[in-house]
Amino acid sequence: MISAIVHVASGREWRGGQRQVWLLAHELQHRGIDQVVVTSRGSELARRLEACGVRVRLTRWQAGLDPRVIWPILQELRRPALLHAHDAHALTMAGTCALLTRSPVVVTRRVTFPLRGRFFWKRACRVIVISRAVRDQLIQDGL
């Protein structure tokens, strides 16, 4: 039984993807959903989430694929939780943790760039796309 959502978002800047994470977490907070967002210390996303009362697990996420992020995610998975990866780098980190804990993963895709690797994408329970163009690219990429 899933009791919480562990969002994983690697973006250190403030752009559309981070705004979508913030909007989703803000609405889930309003609805009383137990959640935490694992993201970069000092990021605009972290600042805005904390300002609206969303629990944030701050990490020293320096590069896109930063192995230091794995331990904080694993600590948040001590209880049954759904992992929600909000970008490709987040999916690699969350997917690694999901393999270790057998936690389910969903991933959001916002861009039409071709996939470089499909390993974790094919293991996601669901892939959320923001447009038909993104969906069509993922189908073309074999998902």
Per-residue pLDDT reduced to its tens digit, 40-68: 999 999 999 999 999 999 998 776 678 88
The candidate with the shortest Cα–Cα distance to 83, out of 100, 105, 67, is: 105
Domains of the chain: 4-140 (3.40.50.2000)
DSSP three-state, residue 85: strand
One DSSP character per residue, 106-136 reads EEEE---SPPS--HHHHH-SEEEESSHHHHH
Point out the residues of the chain with pLDDT beneath 70: 63-64
Q: What are phi and psi of 6, to 5 degrees?
A: -110, 105
pTM for the full predicted model: 0.94
